[in-house]
Amino acid sequence: MRYKNLRFLTIIGIGILAACSEPEPDIPIKEFAEIIYETHRTDAIIQVAGFNDNRLNNDSLSYYNHIFKKYGISREDFIKTIQWYVDNPEKFQELYTEEMKIVAQKEEQYEELKKQMQDSLNAKDTNDIWNLKKDWRLPLDGNTETISFEIPDSLHGTYTLTADMIYYSDDKTVNPRITIMAKYTDDTYDQQSTFGVEKDGQRHSYVVKIKTNEQKQLKMLSGWVLDHSTGTENKHVDVYNIELKYSKE
């Protein structure tokens, strides 16, 4: 979470309630800057969440109890330390500078995390080359639909076809399976199928994988998510989350 505007006026308002002319605080300035940062972070979370608790509103410092416990200080220590910085403007400026360093560091960490997450998403999207809709309902989408696909000009490598399926007990598919095929320019092909479909009305995951023959020129990749044999007249199956992943290996 990022903090562009630090609300020191709020802290100052708390501080003036304390006694004046306190000795230099025992809490190191860098540690106290961390404490201040966490109080602002707590403020931001509460505001975003729309917190509306009269008990907490009557004692705003109660928001910070977990912070005090974490750093091993009391509420009185916090107020007295704030007051000391208010009474010592030069040190207050140092505290502010330390706070800005923390904010900059957190900003940098946030941006790096965001970049890592985006890179991960981009990699996932690039890896999945399925170009049809991912969810199907049969017979709504066709009594004998096979969900066939063809990808011309495919690259050599490993292709993995996966899907979640619910085959219902009244499904009439003959020899149901999930199939993937690599076709070559010499009219030969390699094919892999996964059998063992369970028609129990439960959701199951199915996967089939093929590695192309690099000694041949690949023409296209094709397959059938709901492959079947002759005699199939109607189907009753739901299909979810179809993915076709490509890897160079």
Extents of the domains making up the chain: 8-126, 136-247
Q: How far apart are CA 85 and CA 92, in angstroms?
A: 5
Kindly give the parts of the chain with pLDDT less than 70.
Answer: 1-22, 45-63, 113-114, 116-126
Q: Specify the pLDDT at position 122.
A: 56
Q: Specify the pLDDT at position 167.
A: 96
Q: Specify the pLDDT at position 13.
A: 46
CATH class for the region spanning 136-247 = mainly beta
Q: Specify the pLDDT at position 62.
A: 63
Pure H helices in 50-187: 54-58, 65-71, 75-87, 89-127
To 10 degrees, what angle do helices 89-127 and 75-87 make?
120
Q: How far apart are CA 115 and CA 230, in angstroms?
A: 51
> Per residue in 182-207, pLDDT tens?
999 999 999 999 999 999 999 999 99
Length of the chain: 249
The CA distances from residue 167 to 141, 162, 233, in Å, are 15, 15, 15
Q: Specify the pLDDT at position 136.
A: 95
pTM for the complete prediction? 0.51
